[in-house]
């Protein structure tokens, strides 16, 4: 697996070319001076995140067969 992952990671050169966070905007003062996010929006995002967390925590997998299948790489 490590050989395969190494080959795949070498092909992912576009991830290495992402800009730094500080270069996402060339006018950070306008972003910082803009109106704050309304509290109702923050509450809605928090509520949706709580629902998603609750749903994910209730997922249960009852494996009836092996989850890892042996296979050969030519």
2-28 confidence digits (pLDDT tens): 777 676 666 665 555 655 555 667 787
0.75 exceeded by the pTM?
no
> In the chain, where are the structural domains located?
1-57
Residue 17, SS3 per DSSP: helix
8 A C-beta contact, residue 31 and residue 25 = yes
Q: Round to whole Å and give the CA distance between 2 and 73.
A: 13
Q: Round to whole Å and give the CA distance between 2 and 52.
A: 33
Residue 37, SS3 per DSSP: coil
């Amino acid at each position: 697996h490590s050989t395969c992952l190494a080959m795949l990671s070498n092909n992912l050169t576009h991830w290495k070319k992402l800009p730094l966070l500080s270069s996402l905007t060339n006018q950070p003062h306008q972003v910082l001076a803009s109106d704050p996010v309304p509290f109702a929006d923050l509450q809605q995002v928090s509520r949706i995140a709580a629902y998603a967390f609750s749903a994910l925590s209730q997922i249960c997998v009852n494996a009836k067969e092996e989850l890892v299948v042996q296979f050969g790489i030519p």
